[in-house]
């Protein structure tokens, strides 16, 4: 636990790797349980690693998805995942969490994601 207080064990996030318990709201930034793809596989800040290469090397190059809280090296994304807009004011989302708000597609289309990765190119080209 980061804060040192107790509470209902069902309200904690438990680290998949080390077993430490965390209040989701005590993490920086706070984690929203409804955003996690699988909270049973959640990793605490000390155990986070790149989901592609599984290493913690060059942690200054790890991007954290603002939706699911998983981490990816910037250099692993370029070759393996198809990088989303990392400069978005809305935060960065991994490819599993990037979905077109209009048609719900996970495929950005030939023109890539539009409007801070909120619309695929066919939907974004309409605007």
pTM here?
0.69
Helices (H) and strands (E) in the chain, counts: 2, 4
- pLDDT value, residue 89: 53
Identify the H or E element spanning 21.
Answer: strand 21-22
- pLDDT value, residue 4: 66
* pLDDT per residue of the chain (127 residues) written in tens, 0 to 9: 456 677 776 778 889 999 998 888 888 877 877 767 667 788 998 999 999 999 988 888 888 888 888 899 988 886 444 444 555 555 778 888 888 999 999 998 988 888 877 899 999 988 7
Domain 1-45 has what CATH class?
alpha beta
Rounded distance, CA 2 to CA 123, Å?
A: 43
Domain boundary assignment for the chain: 1-45
Nearest 10 degrees: Cα torsion 114, 119, 123, 125:
-10
């Amino acid at each position: 636990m980061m804060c040192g207080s107790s509470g209902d064990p069902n309200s904690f996030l438990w680290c998949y790797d080390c077993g430490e318990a965390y209040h989701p709201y005590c993490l920086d930034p706070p984690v929203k349980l409804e955003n996690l793809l699988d909270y049973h596989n959640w990793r605490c800040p000390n155990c986070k690693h790149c989901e592609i290469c599984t290493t913690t090397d060059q942690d200054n190059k790890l991007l954290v998805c603002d939706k699911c809280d998983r981490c990816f090296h910037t250099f692993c994304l370029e070759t393996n995942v198809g990088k989303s807009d990392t400069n978005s004011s809305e935060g960065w989302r991994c490819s599993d969490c990037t979905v077109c708000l209009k048609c719900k597609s996970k495929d950005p289309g030939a023109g890539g994601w539009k409007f801070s990765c909120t619309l695929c190119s066919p939907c974004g080209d309409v605007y």
